[in-house]
A and B are shown apart, each in its own frame.
Chain A
Amino acid sequence: MTPPRRWTEAIVAAGAVRAAYVPEASTGRSDALEPAGAELVEGAALELHPVPLAAAPGPVISFLDGIQRWAVVGYDGATPIVRAHVAAAVRRRGPDRRPRTADEATRELVITRLAALSAPVRRALEEAGVEIVDLAADETGQPGRALRAAHGRVDRAREDVERELGERCAGRLGPEEWLVVDGLLSESRVLAEHPRVLGVIKSHGAQYFEGAALERALTVPADHRTSAFRPLGHQHQPVYSWYLRLWPWQGNDLLYGLLRIEARPHPASVAQATALSGWLLRERAPVSTPDARWDRLLYPIHDVETYLRSRAPRDLLPAAGSRLPKTGS
């Protein structure tokens, strides 16, 4: 008599791929969007292409990333007053393989609903000389709603800083230099059209395929990429894109080690897709542990993030100590 098998074993025995992934309790932004659709620009169907390791396309590569930090620093009545810090940096890596900061930008914001503040508080804010982002009446009302709105403004401020810095950097790239951006290219025309700028996307809220194509795209094996396609839908600027798997996902999660790459919408991007992917595969090392996203986080991007974090204001970190009321003096 065979011993009873657990059902988790049974499904694997029946052909399912084993995985182990505990979804985060709160999944941050909910971009559970409808499939946006895609137009294939390479071949007749979405195919898998093996990717051999390849050299970097040039001796000098720049990497761009941004961070955001925010905290409620006060309430006037029930109206939250949010302080936010957003920053982006470009770190340039030369032949000595060491990234050095080439450019950076930061913004310090106050986000609140000015009209809801009492006159002295409002005056104090306005006289402080900080950049104020005013929320609309319908965004506030309740503190919870106001915080959601503030979060959105912080996101946007960071995206703006990243985009401005990216465009400035792209404009200055030397003839053999490349720029790798953490995130979408399609938010900026300058970036989306630049022949030597790549976007590396590691969160996959948006899906472009359905059915068999979706399955094929999301189960792309390690060291392979998909055919290039043009994402459709809410894209601001047209770009070409493809999926690339850095590490085997089996035993982890479908999205483990999965990147989506964006490049300018040009036949050259299709022609270079395998070579560029081969280079990005090489960027797996060194691994960017202990960051939890190390399977997708390229080390030089992690390096930019580390740099920015080390320079961010310490008082915006979550309080490490107890939140018990402070007693006496």
Chain B
Amino acid sequence: MIDKSRPIPVGRVVATELKPATPHQFHFWTANETTIGIGAIVRVEASERGALGVGRVVYGVVTDGFAYSDLATPLHDVVGAEGDPARAAEAPTVRQEIRLWTAAVLRQIPEEPLQPVPLGQVHVAGDADVAQALRMDAYVGGAQPTPIPIGLYTSGGLEAPVYLDADFLLGPEAAHLNISGVSGLATKTSAVEFLLASVFRHFPAHKGRIAAVCFNVKGPDLCFLDRPGELDAEDRRRYARLDVEPRPFERVRYFAPFKADGVNLNTLRTHPDLVSDVDALVWGLQEVLDFAEVLLNRDDIDAKADAFIDFLADRVLNKEFDDGFGRQHRVQNFADLDALFRAIFDGLEATGRSDMWRTHHIATIRKVRNRLANISTRCKGLVTDDGPSNDLPWGELQDRTVYVVDVANVDPLGQDLVFARVVSKLREHLERRDLGVDAVVVFVDELNKYAPADGPETYVKKMLLDISERGRYLGLVLFGAEQFRSQVHRRIVGNAGTLVYGRMDMDELATPGYQVLSPATKIKLATLPIGELMVRHPHFTQPIFVRFPRPAPLRGRDGVERFPPAADLPFEDAVVRQLVQLDRRIRPNQVKDLITDRTAEDVRRALAGVRRARPEDALAYFRKALGTRIAPAAPRPRHVVPPLNPISEEPY
């Protein structure tokens, strides 16, 4: 269809001394009525008799457009209309006018010697031309093709799929994607959802298995990825053209911490029909101490506190420990730890000896105690004072599966902790090649919050920087989204091999990061319709505009309407619900009878035990667990997370 239009030129390259054609730019005119617009891809060929540069084919993308008439000065229009603008419109003849376009060269064939664009005929680009122009021929075909469709290049009724190169999107050549644009119109979250579906469908077999870990940081955004949303015929057509299934994700697992009560899940996916596939995310003292750095360096860096935390983790946790005042401790949880702290403070006060305890100053001990107490109160549903933890299935991640970690309602400190722990775990397992998959896409929305351009060098920021600089060799790929790219740490966006832009804010476009774009391209970005994106990718020498279909999963907003979150249940009922989920035979009254005279702590601990063990007879297990104190999981060797390099200006 497209190729039939080949012989009919739509324009002609023109060059004057003032506006010459160069190896990287040219100008051409078209009929006044034309389908050419900013972002259109064109092919230039000099084929007519006597032309210079015959045999050379040049592909370009339109970056600017000009219209003018033969009017010598505006004054003459005034004269002609005798000062009356209404009369100007009545003139019997329309002035001669021109549509003149500027295009940036995408590719020249042959590439050598590099010469000015020939003054030839201009054609609109078809499928094959787009593939050539964007150098996609290098990875769409061949023995081990690596194309990942991102959208359709569309111009004047013609459209062609645009592919990213998996080697450059997901490593090892380059990696990471960053998408920016204004809220609600830029379709950032939607674009990432679509691209993930495309990645799952097209991730090349020779590259192995891939999964995605998505942090849900905003309301219900990613809570319904397994439920179908509404697509219209045009969306379906685009899915077909891009060879992506118009279906929601088949395998999605949700993780959310509890609310402060420790029994109601802190997520919007609590509708009775859906809540059963949400796993609780619960960490204990050990998990927290591993990432104590997160807690400390949010506001200050303190080597003494670090040292004390290391001491706790290495010498105290899960060991028989003598406090030096005659008491033995075995610290397994926050409650135990607090007992130790009290013993130390009491002991120091009683003996009146000094301010030092085992080379640690009492002020440092107080500080660490405060921080740890702080996290166990501020992140109550995530961190258990007591009892076993429940985490992502490290080492058993499944191919083409999305793991949604819902931290939308979690305190910022808790969010940091979750990011730090989840990403570090991913890195650790990928380094050991025992994650269960070969590559993971980590999607972080609202990246400006977690890796701001300015502000303190938090652990989370260092970690995101570390992924963006080293992740591509490991298969750890960051997809980041934010409204304003200028507000995200420069090297994190700088390391993203693929940059995507939705509708942009004019003020943002005025910042230095966008100087390379022509004024017309900026205007187009500032008025970009929903569903259209501008893409920069290592193979494309110029930014390219594409359209993508609505994501197939149910939108978060629609999800909460169709599956309204269940109201928080009273403690007893929440316990019942969780047990019933584990074992349908359980009757509510049986549970209620069991827990009436037990403390909430005991009940939560027993419940966590059941969740972890997933026994045949959940009620029996629960009853037994209530009777005894649940021992935490067998102490494991502490995995010291390798320290991250401090943020420096040098990438390595």
Contacts and interface: CB of A to CB of B under 8 A. Distances in A.
Interface of A: 56, 61, 93, 96-99, 279, 282-287, 289-290, 299-300, 303, 306
A288 B95 CA distance: 9
Contact of B77 (A93, A97, A286): A286
Interface residues of B, number: 19
A306 B96 contact: yes
A97 B76 contact: no
A97 B80 contact: no
Contacts of A286: 71, 76-77, 80, 88, 91, 93, 95
B273 interface: no
Contact of B80 (A96, A279, A284, A306): A284
A321 to B, nearest CB: 13
A290 B87 CA distance: 21
B233 interface: no
Nearest to B78: A287
A287 B80 CA distance: 5
B88 A97 contact: no
A285 to B, nearest CB: 3
Interface string B71-93: 11100110111100001101111
12 contacts: A56-B92, A97-B92, A97-B93, A98-B94, A99-B93, A282-B91, A286-B71, A289-B71, A289-B76, A299-B93, A300-B93, A303-B96
A4 B591 CA distance: 121
B88 to A, nearest CB: 7
Given A287-B76, A290-B72, A282 B96 contact: no
A61 B88 CA distance: 19
A303 to B, nearest CB: 6
A285 B91 contact: yes
A284 B84 CA distance: 14
Nearest to A301: B93
Interface of B: 70-73, 76-77, 79-82, 87-88, 90-96
Given A286-B71, A286-B77, A289-B72, 18 more contacts: A61-B92, A93-B93, A97-B91, A97-B92, A97-B94, A98-B94, A279-B92, A283-B93, A284-B80, A285-B81, A285-B88, A285-B92, A286-B76, A287-B77, A289-B71, A289-B73, A290-B72, A299-B91
Contacts of B90: 282, 285
B92 A306 contact: no
A311 to B, nearest CB: 14
B84 to A, nearest CB: 10
A53 B49 CA distance: 50
B451 to A, nearest CB: 56
Nearest to B87: A285
DSSP majority for the A interface?
loop
Nearest to B32: A98
A100 to B, nearest CB: 11
A214 B444 CA distance: 89
The 7 closest A-B pairs by CB, nearest first: A285-B80, A285-B91, A290-B72, A287-B80, A97-B94, A289-B72, A289-B76
Contacts of A303: 93, 96
A303 B92 CA distance: 13
A99 B91 CA distance: 13
A187 B96 CA distance: 31
A290 B81 CA distance: 16
Nearest to A299: B93
B93 A287 contact: no
A287 B92 CA distance: 11
Residue from A98, A283, A289 having most chain B Cβ neighbours under 10 A: A289
B32 to A, nearest CB: 8
A97 B97 CA distance: 13
Nearest to A61: B92
Contacts of A96: 94
A127 B118 CA distance: 36
A5 B554 CA distance: 90
Given A285-B80, A285-B88, A286-B77, A306 B93 contact: no
Contacts of A93: 92-93
Q: Which residue, B73, B90, B93, B94, has most C-beta atoms of chain A within 10 A?
A: B93
Contacts of B71: 286, 289
Contacts of B70: 306
A113 to B, nearest CB: 34
A287 B96 CA distance: 12
Nearest to A98: B94
Contacts of A61: 92
B79 A287 contact: yes
A51 to B, nearest CB: 15
B72 A299 contact: no
A113 B471 CA distance: 86
A320 B175 CA distance: 57
